[in-house]
């Protein structure tokens, strides 16, 4: 599949875990053969890129982010051949595939670590970060505050401490060691040669440690990324690198470099503010964070998402904002995890179809590449009692039948219990029933994805906010070449009137992009729109 | 009727939880710190609430409205390090080309009604001693405890608020039965429900409502069985005024109070005594001070008034009261004393005469001014170096006189002169 430069800017990404999607061998765990079978669904949805969560051999103590072998497929999900087959079918259908690459750490069961800890003189000793004391790098925050007391863990075998930014069973690799850097490039090359279209690089800010710093975003880390990018560009042109760096916009900006580091990065601070703006019925949090978002090189792109496999992270908000988010979206403390909220989109929005549509409307129209988390397109629910983030990683709900159509195994043997409650359970929420209804959320999602992909203006266009006096309305202009789109979002639960200053576009008529209806021509007066609760409009401006 | 432009601004603001009203007229010199204190108070205590500041301006030509709408919240949150979650609107409307506090209040209430505000707070543009805490002290009782009216309590110097202590408070208390210390308040908060009800009342077409909108709010709350409380705000500084302003102040306050009695006779005539209202954060209200009093001037104004206005007083006062006044007017400055009982009797006879309109009502109020000067002189000289507590004891005694003499008012209320 040919990779046009910048293909990722116009992509709509579907994030999925093999394990959760479809089980073909009835062992209760989704597999690559199942994912390949369900690519018709992904294609019908209209997305053109799949982002796969880790599928490598792993003890699965962190849902696969604790990798014990970078060059294989976890036996529960199939074989390397199964993966290649899936990749081939995806490409045949015009769907690109991005895979996860956990650079920062391995599982403590990885042979490298087993060797490294076996003795202080082992040749792989220096592949990890060891210390005789746990007093080094004291300025470094703990990320998993609910489970970890320190970034150091004592290893009773080699009688010293090893460094871990995440769980203690995930030792950090030592990127000061050239052998580690070279080996990780070899790992990436292994998958690139197979034909994957990009990597989502996990936890990139933490690659390097230096005393006296917070061990995040260090210049040496950027140098490593630049080196990887250079190799990718030279040997695999068109492959995309996506950064997972949960940082403030100003700290994120360097990860794009001069267009020579990452192609894309998640805009973590924007996501919670979209939820906040919705409940405050005020555009302020959204416009403020986007005003603070620096310009990025022309070849680069933000990645936007509403929900993903992790908790709705509240690391990139102020204390006051975090308190507000907890009170509004996670009043039950079971919903909270680390500094975030472990809930899916539909339950977060009280299963309010209008709010779900509005949030997806913003996701698809703000500058960036949107990512849809599997199941959110049908309004799947969560199970906050499953522990860690497993409540948002339950089996995909295909039908109202046995195990929701996910697997023919005994329900008790599924990797995770299916959602069964009367509101979000698979009998109420599933693909099959929504396919049969023109007005289902699934049908609506197909429609909006189609419109989003009908024009490059959303992926590559500029954005200019309008600031109508009505603060409940978020309005902006997207422009690319001769194409201009006006987006107007009513964040309020009540109908609103809004006057837009569109004099610069005088003479244009507005064409509503969903129904293709014509709205009055823009004149000298403020353009008055009345909007229903949580309604949004996308207008194409045409001078006819 | 609200202007189209104002309605357009209200549409943009939408529903709010807290509305802060600022009635202004050429207040450019004092308005900025007031707005900043309000903004800081909102940011500090109500960052999650939907809030708007509404300026009802009576035709300022000094740029007051622009100062209100132009005050940037960014400066406040940088200074206070409190972050605003929401947009905080500040909008302005010109309700007239001249000052009219009744229309200003009505405009603000109309906005509160349209925006379905849960709390409507009024703040004086001259409240130069305002602290951010005032906002929560006014808002909280309505927002969290379901009160309908929050009247302020201030800490003031003895020489300030004399009209309140000597007339408005004791008279309102004795007539309407509630011990509301500041019945004519320039800062207060009301519930959305009460704001809506107030708008629908007849007070806006009645003399007393038009004259003294603020006191009519208090009286309407009392007579309408709304839940009233008092909240201690802090130190209040009296705006600088000319002595000639006293007549217009009398019209707006005492006149409105007197006029309110006409329509509420059925209620107040049946009440005796008084009861306290719930009071939050109570603190001593009087700062004893060595007030610099121009005794001679006050004494002269009183004595001259008693002499010159004798024909007018004969229409208003009983022979006994006039005679008693003439006796104290003849006293030298060192012996001068206008006792509480005589002052209460004077005021009540003025009240009855006002009701009967024995002469032009405006002239009745003007005639009360020199007598009030005499009472002020006694009030200021009493316990000149005494404690705040002593002053409050004397105030309580004066209220007792008003309550004791209330039956006398009922006697003379319907009498023909």
Residue range B43-59: average pLDDT?
Answer: 93
Mean pLDDT is lowest, of A257-271, A393-407, B28-42, B239-253, for B239-253
B32 & B179 share domain:
yes
pLDDT one-digit tens code per residue, A144-162: 888 899 999 999 999 999 9
pLDDT one-digit tens code per residue, B278-297: 999 877 666 666 556 788 89
B281 & B314 share domain:
no
Q: Is residue B200 part of a domain?
A: yes
**Predicted pLDDT at A165:** 96
Confidence bin at B97 (pLDDT 50/70/90): low
Task: Kindly state whether A471 is in contact with chain B, defined as any CB-CB distance less than 8 angstroms.
Answer: yes
**Predicted pLDDT at A337:** 83
pLDDT one-digit tens code per residue, A513-533: 999 999 999 999 999 999 999
Structural domains in chain A, sorted by start: 7-104+174-453 (3.20.20.80), 111-163 (3.90.400.10), 461-542 (2.60.40.1180)
Alpha-helical segments (H) within A124-254: 178-192, 219-235, 249-252
B281 & B317 share domain:
no
Last residue of a domain, one of B285, B303, B338: B285
- Kindly state the percentage of chain A with pLDDT values over 90: 89
B280 & B388 share domain:
no
Confidence bin at A218 (pLDDT 50/70/90): very high
**Predicted pLDDT at B284:** 67
Task: Kindly state whether B14 is in contact with chain A, defined as any CB-CB distance less than 8 angstroms.
Answer: yes
> CA-to-CA distance for A101 and A204, rounded, in angstroms?
10
Residue range B217-237: average pLDDT?
Answer: 92
**Predicted pLDDT at A284:** 95
Last residue of a domain, one of B285, B312, B334: B285
Phi and psi torsions of A251, nearest 5° = -80, -25
B333 & B351 share domain:
yes
Residue range A111-134: average pLDDT?
Answer: 96
Q: Is residue B207 part of a domain?
A: yes
Phi and psi torsions of B307, nearest 5° = -70, -55
**Predicted pLDDT at B81:** 66
Q: B383: left (phi > 0), else alpha (psi -120 to 50), else beta? A: left
Confidence bin at A364 (pLDDT 50/70/90): very high
CB-nearest to A320 from B14, B50, B83 is B83
In this model, does residue B254 exceed pLDDT 80?
yes
Residue range A116-138: average pLDDT?
Answer: 95
B36 & B18 share domain:
yes
> CA-to-CA distance for B357 and B359, rounded, in angstroms?
5
**Predicted pLDDT at B80:** 64
Domain of residue B380: give its range. Answer: 295-413
Confidence bin at B414 (pLDDT 50/70/90): confident
Confidence bin at A449 (pLDDT 50/70/90): very high
Question: Which CATH number covers residue B118?
Answer: 3.90.550.10
- Contact in structure between A286 and A302 (CB atoms under 8 Å): no
- Kindly state the percentage of chain A with pLDDT values over 70: 100
**Predicted pLDDT at B241:** 63
pLDDT one-digit tens code per residue, B350-395: 999 999 999 999 999 999 999 999 999 998 887 666 677 777 888 8
B238 & B381 share domain:
no
pLDDT one-digit tens code per residue, B150-180: 999 998 887 778 899 999 999 999 999 999 9
Interface touch A470/B15, C-beta < 8 Å: no
**Predicted pLDDT at B207:** 66
Interface touch A280/B15, C-beta < 8 Å: no
Confidence bin at B416 (pLDDT 50/70/90): low
CB contact set of A218 (below 8 Å; sequence gap of 6+): A208, A209, A210
CB contact set of A405 (below 8 Å; sequence gap of 6+): A397, A398, A399, A426, A430, A431, A432
B159 & B30 share domain:
yes
**Predicted pLDDT at A246:** 84
CB-nearest to B12 from A284, A321, A470 is A470
B113 & B14 share domain:
yes
In this model, does residue A354 exceed pLDDT 60?
yes
User: CA-based diameter of chain A, in Å?
Assistant: 79
In this model, does residue A481 exceed pLDDT 60?
yes
**Tokens of residue B121, six digits:** 């707070």
B205 & B311 share domain:
no
**Predicted pLDDT at A335:** 85
Q: Is residue B290 part of a domain?
A: no
Q: Is A501 a catalytic residue?
A: no
Interface touch B8/A499, C-beta < 8 Å: yes
**Predicted pLDDT at B240:** 66
**Tokens of residue A120, six digits:** 């202080």
Task: Kindly state whether B47 is in contact with chain A, defined as any CB-CB distance less than 8 angstroms.
Answer: yes
B299 & B276 share domain:
no
Query: End-to-end alpha-carbon separation of chain A, Å?
Result: 39
In this model, does residue B417 exceed pLDDT 60?
no
Interface touch A284/B87, C-beta < 8 Å: yes
In this model, does residue A282 exceed pLDDT 80?
yes
> What's the 3-state SS for A256-293?
HCCCCCCCEEECCCHHHHHHHHHHHCCCHHHHHHHHCC
**Predicted pLDDT at A491:** 97
Number of domains in chain B: 2
Within 10 A of A424 (CB to CB), how many other CB atoms are there? 22
CB contact set of A40 (below 8 Å; sequence gap of 6+): A93
Phi and psi torsions of A84, nearest 5° = -60, -40
**Predicted pLDDT at B281:** 82
pLDDT one-digit tens code per residue, A385-412: 998 888 999 999 999 999 999 999 999 9
Interface touch A281/B87, C-beta < 8 Å: no
Mean pLDDT is lowest, of A189-193, A508-512, B201-205, B303-307, for B201-205
Helix (H, G, I), strand (E, B) or coil at B397: helix
Query: End-to-end alpha-carbon separation of chain B, Å?
Result: 42
Is the alpha carbon torsion for A499, A501, A506, A509 positive or negative?
A: negative
In this model, does residue B243 exceed pLDDT 90?
no
Instruction: Please tell me which residue, A245 or B125, carries the higher pLDDT value.
Output: B125
Closest CA relative to residue A202, chosen from A109, A350, A66: A66
> CA-to-CA distance for B40 and B42, rounded, in angstroms?
5
Last residue of a domain, one of B285, B308, B333: B285
Closest CA relative to residue B246, chosen from B162, B153, B356, B340: B162
Catalytic residue among A23, A209, A244, A376: A244
State how far the alpha carbon of A358 is from the alpha carbons of A289, A354, A474, in Å.
19, 6, 11
B123 & B237 share domain:
yes
Task: Kindly state whether B51 is in contact with chain A, defined as any CB-CB distance less than 8 angstroms.
Answer: no
Give A486's DSSP letter.
Answer: E
Confidence bin at B78 (pLDDT 50/70/90): low
Task: Kindly state whether A494 is in contact with chain B, defined as any CB-CB distance less than 8 angstroms.
Answer: yes
In this model, does residue B124 exceed pLDDT 70?
yes
């Amino acid at each position: 599949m040919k990779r046009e430069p910048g293909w990722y800017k116009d992509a709509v990404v579907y994030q999925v875990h093999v394990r959760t999607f479809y089980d073909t061998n009835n062992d209760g765990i989704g597999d690559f053969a199942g994912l390949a079978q369900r690519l018709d669904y992904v294609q019908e949805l209209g997305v053109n890129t799949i982002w796969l969560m880790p599928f490598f051999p792993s003890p699965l103590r962190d849902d696969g982010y604790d990798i014990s072998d970078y060059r294989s497929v976890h036996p529960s999900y199939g074989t390397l051949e199964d993966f290649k087959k899936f990749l081939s079918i995806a490409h045949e259908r015009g769907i690109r595939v991005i895979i996860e690459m956990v650079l920062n750490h391995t599982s403590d069961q990885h042979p490298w670590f087993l060797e490294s800890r076996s003795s202080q003189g082992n040749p792989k000793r220096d592949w990890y970060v060891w210390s005789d004391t746990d007093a080094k790098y004291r300025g470094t925050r703990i990320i998993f505050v609910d489970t970890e007391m320190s970034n150091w863990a004592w290893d009773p075998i080699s009688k010293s401490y090893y460094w871990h930014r995440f769980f203690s069973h995930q030792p950090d690799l030592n990127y000061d060691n050239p052998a580690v850097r070279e080996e990780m490039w070899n790992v990436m090359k292994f998958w690139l040669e197979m034909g994957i279209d990009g990597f989502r690089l996990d936890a990139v800010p933490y690659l390097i440690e230096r005393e006296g710093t917070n061990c995040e975003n260090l210049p040496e880390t950027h140098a490593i990324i630049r080196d990887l990018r250079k190799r990718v560009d030279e040997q695999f042109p068109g492959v995309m690198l996506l950064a997972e760096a949960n940082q403030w916009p100003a700290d994120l900006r360097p990860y794009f470099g001069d267009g020579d580091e990452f192609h894309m990065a998640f805009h973590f601070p924007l996501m919670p503010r979209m939820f906040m703006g919705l409940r405050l019925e005020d555009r302020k949090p959204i416009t403020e964070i986007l005003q603070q978002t620096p310009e990025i090189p022309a070849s680069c792109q933000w990645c936007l998402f509403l929900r993903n496999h992790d908790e709705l992270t509240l690391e990139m908000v102020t204390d006051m904002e975090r308190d507000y988010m907890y009170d509004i979206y996670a009043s039950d403390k079971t919903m909270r995890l680390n500094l975030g909220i472990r809930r899916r989109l539909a339950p977060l929005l009280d299963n309010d179809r209008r709010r779900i549509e509005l949030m997806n409307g913003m996701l698809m129209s703000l500058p960036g590449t949107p990512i849809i988390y599997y199941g959110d397109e049908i309004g799947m629910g969560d199970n906050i009692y499953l522990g860690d983030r497993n409540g948002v990683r339950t089996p995909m709900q295909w039908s109202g039948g046995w195990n929701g159509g996910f697997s023919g195994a005994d329900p008790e043997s599924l990797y995770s219990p299916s959602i069964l409650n009367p509101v979000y359970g698979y009998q109420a929420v599933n693909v099959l029933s929504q396919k049969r209804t023109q007005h289902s959320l699934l049908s609506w999602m197909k429609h909006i994805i189609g419109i989003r992909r009908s024009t490059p203006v959303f992926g590559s266009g500029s954005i200019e906010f309008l600031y109508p006096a009505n603060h409940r309305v978020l309005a902006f202009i997207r422009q690319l070449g001769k194409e201009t789109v006006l987006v107007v979002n009513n964040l309020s639960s009540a109908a609103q009137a809004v006057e837009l200053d569109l004099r610069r576009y005088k003479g244009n008529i507005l064409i509503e992009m969903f129904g293709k209806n014509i709205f009055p021509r823009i004149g000298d007066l403020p353009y008055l729109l009345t909007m229903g609760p949580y309604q949004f409009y996308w207008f194409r401006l045409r001078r006819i | 009727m609200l202007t189209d432009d104002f309605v357009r601004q209200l549409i943009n603001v939408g529903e709010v939880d807290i509305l802060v009203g600022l009635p202004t007229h050429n207040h450019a010199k004092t308005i900025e710190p007031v707005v900043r204190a309000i903004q800081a108070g909102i940011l500090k205590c109500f960052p999650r609430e939907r809030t708007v500041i509404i300026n009802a301006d009576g035709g300022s030509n000094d740029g007051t409205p622009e100062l209100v709408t132009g005050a940037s919240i960014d400066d406040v949150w940088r200074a206070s390090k409190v972050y605003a979650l929401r947009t905080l609107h500040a909008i302005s409307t010109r309700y007239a080309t001249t000052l009219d506090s009744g229309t200003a209040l009505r405009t603000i209430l109309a906005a509160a009604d349209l925006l379905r505000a849960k709390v409507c707070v009024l703040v004086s543009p001259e409240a130069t001693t305002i602290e951010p805490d005032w906002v929560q002290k006014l808002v909280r009782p309505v927002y969290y405890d379901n009160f309908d009216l929050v009247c302020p309590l201030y800490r003031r110097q003895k020489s300030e608020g004399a009209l309140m202590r000597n007339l408005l408070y004791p008279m309102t208390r004795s007539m309407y039965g509630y011990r509301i210390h500041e019945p004519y308040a320039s800062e207060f908060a009301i519930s959305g429900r009460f704001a809506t009800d107030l708008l629908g009342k007849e007070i806006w077409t009645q003399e007393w409502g038009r004259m003294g909108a603020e006191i009519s709010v208090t009286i309407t709350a009392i007579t309408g069985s709304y839940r009233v409380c008092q909240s201690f705000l802090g130190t209040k500084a009296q705006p600088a005024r000319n002595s000639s302003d006293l007549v217009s102040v009398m019209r707006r306050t005492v006149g409105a109070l007197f006029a309110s009695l006409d329509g509420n006779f059925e209620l107040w005539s049946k009440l005796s005594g008084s009861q306290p209202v719930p009071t939050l954060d109570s603190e001593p209200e009087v700062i004893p001070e060595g007030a610099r009093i121009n005794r001679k001037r006050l004494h002269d104004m009183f004595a001259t008034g008693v002499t010159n206005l004798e024909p007018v007083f004969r229409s208003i006062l009983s022979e006994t009261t006039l005679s008693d006044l003439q006796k104290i007017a003849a006293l030298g400055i060192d012996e001068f004393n206008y006792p509480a009982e005589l002052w209460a009797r004077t005021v009540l006879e003025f009240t009855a005469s006002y009701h009967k309109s024995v002469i032009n009502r405006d002239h009745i109020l003007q005639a009360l001014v020199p007598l009030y000067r005499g009472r002020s002189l006694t009030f200021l000289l009493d316990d000149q170096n005494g404690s705040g507590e002593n002053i409050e004891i004397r105030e309580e005694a004066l209220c007792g006189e008003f309550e004791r003499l209330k039956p006398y008012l009922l006697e003379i209320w319907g009498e023909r002169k």
